[in-house]
Structure 1
């Protein structure tokens, strides 16, 4: 029996990755650097210490990276760092609340970003626990963030399911022993993740609409 569901945030619960990516592209262009979608996708799912290191390499130096981050923050400030919910999020969270299934967040983002973004979309109160990449030394694809989320829940991996949009996130959940549902956002998962994931679905709404059929496959 499933007792809890653990969710990633960016690109899964909220439609933030495309907006942040566009902000990075525009900020880089403003200082004469071409930054591509393919480069940004390499950052998805990573904790800040990992993504900032990779971005500095992509932009040929820490100075350029800091300039792009400053431009990105200006771009996001204009939006109050608020992003729309992805399709089916509210319906699934309400369904789990009604079913008595605990919901938790395990996001690489800092805690202030998690609470701000989820509170402004009206869904923060659906989550009993929030786990941030700030709380672990190793980011996704290492399992640390999911192991900490399980510890907070007081549950075993086989009592929970995880939802992820990124390949790195899915790898982290799988490494923690969780059955992971992948909802691709910017990039489709590779063959290995597809083989190891419990399911790959087009949206959380699709999972919700077919929940009973999918869950029956777990038991």
Structure 2
């Protein structure tokens, strides 16, 4: 029986990855560097320290990285660093709340980013616990962030389900022993992740529609 659901944030609950990626591409272009979607996707799911190291390598120097970050922040200032919810996110959280299923977040993002984005999309109060990549030394695909989230929940992995959009995030949740629902965002999951995932769905709304239908059947059976 599922007692809790653990959600990634960027690209899963919040439609942020495409905006941030476009900001990186434009900021890099402004200093004469061609930065690609394929390069950005390699950052997705990583904790800040890991993504910083990788992006610095991609851009060729620390100076280039700092300039791109300045350009990205200016780009994101235009939207107050706020992004829309993904399809079905709030409805699924409401459904789980009504079912008595505890919801938590396990995001590689820094804690201020998590609280800011979830607050401004109006869903922070749905979560009993929030776990940030700042709280672990090894980021996804290592299981540490999910193990810490389980510790906060006080529940074993077999009583929880995780939702992820990224390859590294899905690998981390699988390594932690969780059933993982993968909702692809910028890239489809590998065959390895598909083989170990509980399910791969088009959106959180599709997952919700399926479970609302199951709940309706159960009520009718009673």
TM-score range, shorter chain: over 0.9
Instruction: Quote the offset at 1:181 in angstroms.
Output: 0.1
Q: Within 5 A, what are the aligned runs for 1:22-33? A: 22-33=22-33
Normalising by structure 1, we get a TM-score of 0.97
Q: Secondary structure at the match of 2:138?
A: coil
Inter-partner Cα distance in structure 2 for 1:52 and 1:213: 43
Q: 1:164 to 1:214 in 2, by over 3 A?
A: farther
> Residue 194 of structure 1 corresponds to which residue in structure 2?
194
Normalising by structure 2, we get a TM-score of 0.95
Instruction: Quote the offset at 1:77 in angstroms.
Output: 1.1
> Residue 220 of structure 2 corresponds to which residue in structure 1?
none
Inter-partner Cα distance in structure 1 for 2:141 and 2:161: 17
Query: 5+ unaligned residues in a row in structure 1: which ranges?
Result: none
Number of aligned positions between the proteins: 215
Q: Secondary structure at the match of 1:128?
A: strand
> Residue 134 of structure 2 corresponds to which residue in structure 1?
134
Q: Secondary structure at the match of 1:187?
A: coil
Q: Within 5 A, what are the aligned runs for 1:79-158? A: 79-158=79-158
Inter-partner Cα distance in structure 1 for 2:105 and 2:212: 22
Inter-partner Cα distance in structure 1 for 2:55 and 2:214: 38
> Residue 10 of structure 1 corresponds to which residue in structure 2?
10
Moved over 2 A (4+): 212-215
> Residue 182 of structure 1 corresponds to which residue in structure 2?
182
Instruction: Quote the offset at 1:42 in angstroms.
Output: 0.3
Inter-partner Cα distance in structure 2 for 1:164 and 1:211: 18
> Residue 72 of structure 1 corresponds to which residue in structure 2?
72
Inter-partner Cα distance in structure 2 for 1:66 and 1:142: 27
Q: Secondary structure at the match of 1:210?
A: helix
Cα deviation code 1:87-112 (max 9, x no counterpart): 00011000000000000000000000
Query: 5+ unaligned residues in a row in structure 2: which ranges?
Result: 216-222
Computed over aligned residues only, the root mean square deviation of the Cα atoms, in angstroms, reads 1.1
Instruction: Quote the offset at 1:211 in angstroms.
Output: 1.6
Instruction: Quote the offset at 1:78 in angstroms.
Output: 1.2
Inter-partner Cα distance in structure 2 for 1:40 and 1:211: 33
Q: Secondary structure at the match of 1:142?
A: coil
Inter-partner Cα distance in structure 2 for 1:19 and 1:52: 18
